[in-house]
């Protein structure tokens, strides 16, 4: 591999890692005030009674904020996070792995 190709590939992998890491970091930041975020979320189910409160937890798989609501009849409604952020987290980890492999190849 030529030096300029290695440098270009390293820059691309670093950019991919950063771009994929932003939504994952945003999901973690959003989960800091989970009850508040769930109360103002766009994903509130129609049958949820917000006066009964909403709770949220940070879900590791899939990555993101998982919200729990209560309906009028007392049933718990769970809204799981989407898989988009999880896919970006996996892609970011793969880019980091590529960076480590590239670094190991350059060192040898």
pLDDT in tens, the chain (108 residues): 677 887 888 888 888 888 888 887 877 777 777 777 887 777 888 888 878 888 888 888 888 888 999 999 989 999 988 888 888 888 888 888 888 888 888 777
Cα separation of 59 and 77, whole Å? 16
Number of other residues whose CB lies within 10 A of the CB of residue 81: 21
5-30: burial string, b at 16+ Cβ within 10 Å, e else: eeeeeeeebeebbeebbebbeebeeb
The reported pLDDT for the residue numbered 68 is 92
The reported pLDDT for the residue numbered 1 is 64
The reported pLDDT for the residue numbered 16 is 85
């Amino acid at each position: 591999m030529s030096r300029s190709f290695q440098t270009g590939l390293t820059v691309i992998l670093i950019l991919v890692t950063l771009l994929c890491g932003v939504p994952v970091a945003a999901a973690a930041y959003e989960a800091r005030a989970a009850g508040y975020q769930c109360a103002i979320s766009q994903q509130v189910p129609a049958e949820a009674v917000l006066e009964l409160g909403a709770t949220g937890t940070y879900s590791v798989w899939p990555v993101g904020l998982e919200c729990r609501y209560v309906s009028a009849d007392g049933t718990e409604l769970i809204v799981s996070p989407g898989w988009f952020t999880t896919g970006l987290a996996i892609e970011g980890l793969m880019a980091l792995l590529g960076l480590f492999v590239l670094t190991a190849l350059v060192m040898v």
